[in-house]
Structure 1
Amino acid sequence: MQDSDLRLDGNAAAGWLHEIFGREMTAVSSTCAHCSNAAPLGALLVYASDIGVVMRCPTCNAALLRITHIRGRYCLDVNLAEPLTG
């Protein structure tokens, strides 16, 4: 199995993002801390498993957001150059 077989677009994380932020987040703009590419969260590359997702920059593949769900709690690790806007 290749990485591309596991890759989804950012819309695949819409439910998790809504649970954390309490609103629809796929149109919210993000800026990569590594290459400064700006893209909506829905355009990021998502790698998902049962316990979490990693959202990566579509330009340089840097991990921008990591979300895990363990024992009923969400943990969010953010690596963005600017705060989420939108």
Structure 2
Amino acid sequence: MNTPDPYPAPGVHAAEETHRPRTARPPREPYDPSPTNPDDDGYEDGNALAGPLSEIFTPDMTRALTHCAGCGTTGPMALLRLYEHAPGLVARCPTCGDVVLRMVRTEDAAWLDLRGTVSLDIPLTAP
């Protein structure tokens, strides 16, 4: 007898879950956080996000703690690896290399994509 999953996927009833095939997540390729020549990797540290994010957020966002959705690493935004050679800004986790934040700005709007972070802990007081 199939036992229903006690934690069914969102929007799926436990009875439906028993008929759904399970698939394993493929293993990730190891990420080398220290390339042989860091200058060739083309990234800046997350401190470069201070200016663009200050247009949207008042507190110093480089002190905000990010929690990577990919590997679970928690650390200040200043430690993210920022790539500016895309149509916008792309910040990656220094541990696993997953995208944590994307920001695109036009003359009159800004789009901030945080789907790569589980949470963002923003300090509201000065250090």
Shared fold per TM-score greater than 0.5: yes
Which residue does 2:98 correspond to in 1? 62
Relative contact order, CA 8 A, sep 6+: which one is greater?
1
C-alpha change, 1:65 and 1:72, in structure 2 (3 Å) is same
Identity %: 37
- 2:78 aligned to 42, 47, 50, which one? 42
Unmatched segments (≥5 aa) in structure 1: none
**Greater percentage in strand:** 1
Cα deviation, residue 7, structure 1? 0.4
Matched residue count: 83
When the two chains are superposed, the root-mean-square deviation of aligned CA atoms in Å is: 1.8
Letter in 1 for 2:81: L
Unmatched segments (≥5 aa) in structure 2: 1-38
Letter in 1 for 2:55: E
Give distance in 1, aligned partners of 2:99 and 2:73: 13
Q: How does 1:1-86 map to 2 (within 5 A)?
A: 4=41, 6-49=42-85, 51-79=87-115, 80-82=117-119, 84-85=120-121, 86=123
Higher gyration radius (CA): 2
Relative to the length of structure 2, the TM-score reads: 0.60
User: Which contiguous aligned blocks of 4+ residues in structure 1 show a shift greater than 4 angstroms?
Assistant: none
Relative to the length of structure 1, the TM-score reads: 0.86
47-56 or 71-80: which moved more? 47-56
SS in 2 for 1:66: strand
CA contact (8 A) 1:51 1:69 kept: no
C-alpha change, 1:50 and 1:63, in structure 2 (3 Å) is closer
